[in-house]
Chains A and B, each alone.
Chain A
C-alpha cells in the first residue's frame, strides 16, 4: 500500500519532466542543431565544465554573494518594516516611496551601482540586497499593520514590555506576510546574482555562462543554465523547509479552517 502510493507519487512528479527530456533528446539528435545540444551532450560536458575547480572558484562565490545580499535584505527589510508598520504616520509618508522603488526593475540598478560601489563583491551584494529588500519591507509593513486589534489589546492589558510585545506578538503575527515577501525576494535575488555577474565580474555563475557563450561553447553554456535551475530549486526547497518550521502554527491553523 505504502510503496504503491510512493511509486504513484513518483510517477506523477516525474512523468512530465521525463517526457520533456525524451522529446528534447529526440529532437536534438535528429536536427543536430548547434544551439540546442541534446541533454546527453550537456550532461557529458557538465563535470568538466563545473566540477573541475569552478565549483569553488565560481559557484561558491556566487552563492556566498547571494546569501549575503539576501540576508542583508531580510535584516534591513524586517527591521525597517517593523518600525514603519507600527507608526501610522510614518507608514503613510513612506509607503508610496517603497512602492516606487519596488516598481523599478532591479537590474537597471546594476550600472548605477557600478558607478557608486565599483565592480567588486560589495557592488554585487548591494545590488542583490537592493533588489530583494522591497518585497520583504512592504510585506512586513503590511503584516504589522494587519495585526488583530484584540491581540494588541491583550498585550496592552497584560502590560507586556516593548521587547516582549515585539518578539511574542508583533513578529509572529506578521510572520506569514514576511514569508510571502521573502519568497518573492528569493527569486529576485537569484536573478540579481546572475545579472550582476554578467555586467562586470571575473568569476561567478553568470560570468561563466556569458564567457561560454562568447567562446561559442554552447553545451557548456547550457550546462550552466541547468545548474542555475538546480540551484533555484534547491534554494526553494531550503526556503520551504524553514517556512514549514517557522510557520507550523499558521499552516496547521489554515488546514484546520478548510
Chain B
C-alpha cells in the first residue's frame, strides 16, 4: 500500500501522539508512516477530530510526538524547521493585528536575515501573486476572511519554503473564494516548484487539488488508503470536476471516509496488557 519514494523530501516514520497520560489520555495519532516526494502536492483528508491538526503540529516541530519521528530533507524535525512554512487552521488569528499586511508578510523574512532590498522584492512579489498588491498598507482586520487567508498564504510563500504545509485553510471562506484560492494554490505550486502538503476534511477539494490523497481514519489516526489522483495536471474548476474520473475518485475517497468513521484502530505498540487488534 505504501508508496516509497527514492529521495523523499519528507518522511514520517511510525509517528504516534498521545495527549496526556493515564485514564484521561487521548490517543490522537495511532501510527503514521509515509513519505512525500520533492515537488509533490499531497492532500491529507480525514474526518474532523481525526488528528490532522495534531499531525501537522508534530510535522512542523510545534509539538513533540510521543514516539516515531519526522525527517525533513534528511534531518529529524525537533523544532520548527527552516525550510517549512505553515498556514495554520486559525489563519485570521495567525496574522498580527498591529502590523499592516506588508509588515506581516515581511516579519518572517527579517527573522531569516534577508537584506532590506530582497525583502521588499519578496513581499511585493508574494502579495502580487495572491492578488493583494493594493492592500499592502491595510491592517488584517480591515480585510475579509478570504483576503486574510491570502495574506497568510503570501506570508508563507514569501518565506520561500521548500515545503508548504496548510491546515484546512479554506474551511471558513465562501464557496466562490474557496474555488479561487484552490486554483491559487495549484498555480503557486506549479510556478514555485514547492512541495505542498494540504490538509482538508473536504473530499472534493482533496481530489481536485492533489496528485495523491492520503485518507486518514478517525482518531487514533492511521492511513486508511492512499489514492493516486490520475487527473491531468492542468485543472479547471468546471471541466475537471465534470470528468468521469473525478466522479470516480471522489466516490472512492468518500467511501473510504465513511469506512474511516467506523474503523477503530489499535496501535501496533500497545500499552502493556492491551491486545493488538484491528476491528471493523
A contacts, CB < 8 Å to B: 148, 150-151, 153-154, 156-161, 164, 168-169, 172-173, 175, 249-250, 252-253, 256
Residues of B in contact, count (CB < 8 Å): 26
Q: Which of B66-90 contact A (CB under 8 A)?
A: 79-80, 82, 84-86, 88, 90
CA distance A169 to B107 in the complex (A): 10
Further pairs besides A164-B107, A173-B96, A175-B98: 19, Cβ < 8 Å: A150-B88, A150-B93, A151-B93, A154-B96, A156-B79, A156-B80, A157-B60, A157-B61, A158-B80, A158-B108, A159-B82, A159-B111, A160-B107, A160-B108, A169-B96, A249-B97, A249-B139, A249-B141, A252-B139
Closest to B110 in A: A164
A148, A156, A158, A252: the one within 8 Å of B93 (CB): A148
Q: Is A161 within 8 A of B98, CB to CB?
A: no
In the assembled complex, which residues on chain A have CB atoms less than 8 Å from the CB atom of B108?
A: 158-160
Q: Shortest Cβ distance from B221 into chain A, in angstroms?
A: 21
Residue numbers in B under 8 Å from A148 (CB-CB): 93
User: 7 closest Cβ contacts across the A-B interface?
Assistant: A158-B108, A150-B93, A172-B98, A249-B98, A154-B94, A160-B111, A253-B141
A90 to chain B, nearest CB (A): 23
A/B interface sample: 24 pairs, CB < 8 A: A150-B93, A150-B94, A151-B94, A153-B62, A153-B88, A154-B88, A156-B62, A156-B79, A157-B61, A157-B80, A157-B84, A157-B85, A157-B88, A158-B80, A158-B107, A160-B108, A164-B107, A164-B111, A168-B96, A173-B96, A249-B97, A250-B97, A252-B141, A256-B141
Question: B134-152 vs A: 1/0 string, CB under 8 Å?
Answer: 0000010110000000000
What is the CA–CA distance of A151 and B104 in the complex, to the nearest angstrom? 12
How far, in whole Å, are A161 and B80 apart by their CA atoms in the complex? 12
A168 contacts across to B, CB distance below 8 A: 96, 99, 107
Interfacial chain A residues near B80, Cβ < 8 Å? 156-159
Min CB–CB distance B167 → chain A (angstroms): 11
Question: From residue B203, how far is it (CB to closest CB) to chain A in Å?
Answer: 27
Knowing A150-B93, A158-B85, A253-B139 are in contact, say whether A173-B98 is a contact too (CB < 8 A).
Answer: yes
A64 to B88, CA, bound (A): 49
| Cα distance A191–B94 in the bound complex, in angstroms | 42
Measured between beta carbons, the chain B residues less than 8 angstroms from A160 are 107-108, 111
In the complex formed, the residue of B with least CB distance to A254 is B141
User: Which residues of B have CB within 8 Å of A256?
Assistant: 141-142
The docked-state distance in angstroms from the alpha carbon of A171 to that of B119 is 23
Return chain A residues, CB-CB under 8 Å to B112.
159
In the assembled complex, the CB of A176 is this many whole angstroms from the nearest CB of chain B, namely 10
Which of chain A's residues has its CB closest to B62's CB?
Answer: A153
